[in-house]
Amino acid sequence: MQHPTTHTGDAEAATGIAATLKDSTWDLHQQAESGELQKRLVKGELGKHEYAAHLGQLYLVHRTLENCLDAALCDQVKALNSEDLHHTGKLEADLAHLSTDPADVKPVPATESFTDWIEDTAKDNPTALIGVQYVLEGSTNGNGYIARKIGPALGLEEDGLRYLKSYGPAQRETWARFKSRLDTLDLSDDARERVVAAARRTFEGVRDINSELLEVLAGHKKPTGV
């Protein structure tokens, strides 16, 4: 997961929820980018098996979130959610190209914990799903750079990189449009706090998933159900 690497701090007044989310999660954003798996991704140092395993965990997370977003009755979630922001299909295609059946993907314990939390949040506090979507959608900003590194290293061009290249040259425009829509949502102060808390939980979840996946790949841990 890679987010934009520029941060303006006080110069960026947190007038909208998008700016508030960026400022309120910056510490965890930096932690996520400094993880070992993330650094190896950016350097193009993952093998195909490791890369497929990484996409597999992302697939489980995105599938869970998108199912919850589609089922949500909350007006704010419905206003932000749209089919063009869904990534499950791209991840399924990438996994298939890498000879991995999505149905066979097993979650590492941190993934199971995080997806369970998403489902519980959808039932108890659906507005907070906006915070989860913000983090995962924001990660697409750095994915194109990762694709340019991991693609040549693994001999991949389009197939196998569909998720990382989700929006292609329209990436910046798509992210700007998402943030604009986010800032138009009518959120109470309490709802904003819950969205920020969910975004922070998402960064923590991704950090833990990436760390634990490396342990599983190294044989130090087993996926759930194995």
Could you tell me the residue ranges of all domains in the chain?
9-217
pLDDT tens for the 226 residues of the chain, in order: 444 333 333 333 345 899 999 999 999 988 888 889 989 998 989 999 999 999 999 999 999 999 999 999 999 999 999 999 999 999 999 999 999 999 999 999 999 999 999 999 999 999 999 999 999 999 999 999 999 999 999 999 999 999 999 999 999 999 999 999 999 999 999 999 999 999 999 999 999 999 999 999 988 787 876 5
The three-point CA angle 77-25-186 to 5° equals 30
- Angle formed by the axes of helices 129-138 and 171-183, to 10°? 160
Six-digit token pair at 135? 């983090």
Per DSSP, 78 falls in state H
Nearest one of 135, 206, 144, 134 to 172, comparing CA atoms: 144
SS (H, E, C) 9-55: HHHCCCCCHHHHHHHHCHHHHHHHHCCHHHHHHHCCCCCHHHHHHHH
- Domain 9-217, CATH number (from 3.20.20.10, 1.10.340.70, 1.20.910.10, 3.40.50.720): 1.20.910.10
